[in-house]
Amino acid sequence: MGDQTLHSKVWALARRQHNVVTNAQLRELGFSAKAIKHRVRRGRLHRIHQGVYAVGRRELTRHGHWMAAVLACGEGAVLSHASAAVLWGIRDKEGRQIEISVPAERAPSPKGIRVHRRAALTAKDPTKRHGIPVTTPACTLIDIAPRLSDKQREAAVNEADILDLIDPEQLRRAIDERAGRPGTKSLRDILDKHTFTLTASVLERLFLPIARRAGLPRPLTGARVNGFEVDFYWPDIKLVVETDGLRYHRTPAQQARDTLRDQKHAVAELTPLRFTHAQVAYEPDHVEAILRAVARRLGRH
């Protein structure tokens, strides 16, 4: 095989791997150890990690550094934890070291890489994104959950949902399949908090005392207003309160209907307010404060 052919094959491989290749890959292409050393001396290959080279120039993109770290850790290695979260777009900071997970029986230790030896990785956990081996969004969320605050965990789950990486039902199944891993309980608690629906009787039992504390009289419940059945209605001050269950699961059709409903109420000079079931159940002080402020404003008019 001629030098020109070898050169073309190296560049083709490098393009697929964000401009990095390994010593083993070069040997498989037909390069001898002497030929590899020669290219390193001539500046055609630049050592990034032991046995991992940047091709042509030393500078790498972020994806190139991630790929180099995965390749440096050998067979079965995948980008994971905070680094995987950044690659997926779930989080925007990964820390000072690239994080890689490897099978438990292996123990690579490249400089500048944080290696996690994992006995718990299942066949469903690794995947690829932009050609880089990485843990799946579900596995990534579970891995980073113990490091995050409740608000940060909720933001990460919400971001993964917005990006269509995984929906809450898929995440719940993934959590159940990986029960016992650190991070599964805290994620399950978040999903339980934001994806449940109260029955009408329980919702009424929880909401009415909040409204009473806000200074409102007892509302009409289940009344039809502007062609829609509403949850709570105060005709004297023209206030309508709607409550939404399944916060993460509002379909486009449901959202469009909610928008139309609110618009019709506004045209009829009503004030529509919307709370989630989770807010009624877990954030009653917030709901009360909003009701009190709106009721005060409407009462003045």
Chain mean pLDDT for the chain: 89
Contact 144, 82 (CB under 8 A): yes
Could you write out the DSSP letters of every residue in 216-278? --PPEES-EETTEE-SEEETTTTEEEEEE--GGG--HHHHHHHHHHHHHHHHTT-EEEEEEHH
Residue 236 has pLDDT above 70, yes or no: yes
What's the pLDDT at 252? 74
How far apart are alpha carbons 285 and 210 in whole angstroms?
Answer: 8
Residue 196 pLDDT grade (very low, low, confident, very high; cuts 50, 70, 90): confident
Residue 109 pLDDT grade (very low, low, confident, very high; cuts 50, 70, 90): confident
What's the pLDDT at 282? 87
Please report, for residues 169, 197, 282, the alpha-carbon distance to residue 201 in angstroms, rounded to integers and kept in the order given.
25, 12, 17
Percent of the chain, pLDDT > 90?
Answer: 55
| pLDDT, tens only, 161-178 | 888 898 887 888 889 888
Residue 8 pLDDT grade (very low, low, confident, very high; cuts 50, 70, 90): confident
Residue 131 has pLDDT above 80, yes or no: yes
| pLDDT, tens only, 246-294 | 666 666 777 788 889 899 999 999 999 999 888 898 899 999 999 999 9
What's the pLDDT at 69? 96
What's the pLDDT at 180? 83
The mean pLDDT of 56-69, rounded to a whole number, is 94
Q: Which amino acid is at 16?
A: R
What's the pLDDT at 254? 76
Cβ neighbours for 10, distance < 8 A, ≥ 6 positions apart: 21, 26, 29, 55
How far apart are alpha carbons 217 and 165 in whole angstroms?
Answer: 45
The mean pLDDT of 96-112, rounded to a whole number, is 90
What's the pLDDT at 249? 65
For residue 181, which of 256, 122, 267 has the smallest C-alpha distance? 122
